[in-house]
Amino acid sequence: MRPFSIAFRGSWFIPEAHGFYEAPEGVLGVAFRPRRRFEYSLEAERMSIELDKKGELAYIEVRQPKENWLVVPRLLPPQHLYRSRAFFPIPAQKDGEEYLTNLTQNILCVEFSTEPAWRAVEIANSVSAEVSPDFKLLRLWILRIAEDFGNKKELAWLKAGQLYLPHPI
State pLDDT tens for residues 82-92.
877 654 454 44
pLDDT above 60 for 165: no
- Check: CB of residue 77 under 8 Å from CB of residue 108: no
How many domains would you assign to the chain?
Answer: 1
Question: What is the Cα–Cα distance from 156 to 150, expressed in whole angstroms?
Answer: 11
Is 132 a domain residue? yes
Contact between residue 24 and residue 18 where contact means Cβ atoms under 8 Å apart: no
> Which domain, by its residues, includes 86?
4-158
Q: Is residue 113 part of a domain?
A: yes
Write out 58-108 in H/E/C secondary structure: EEEEECCCHHHCEECCCCCCCCCEEECEEEEEEECCCCCCEEEECCCCCCE
pLDDT of 109 over the 90 cut = yes
Q: Is residue 166 a part of any domain in this protein?
A: no
* Residue 60 covered by a domain: yes
The SS3 call for residue 39 is coil
Question: Bridge-partner residues for 110, per DSSP?
Answer: 99, 140
The model scores a pTM over 0.85: no
- The predicted-structure confidence for 30-48, as pLDDT tens digits, reads as follows 988 777 777 788 777 788 8
pLDDT at 135: 80
Residue 38 lies in a domain: yes
pLDDT at 134: 81
Report if residue 169 sits inside a domain: no
54 belongs to a structural domain: yes
pLDDT (tens digit, 9 = 90+) per residue, 112-141? Answer: 888 888 888 888 888 988 888 888 888 889
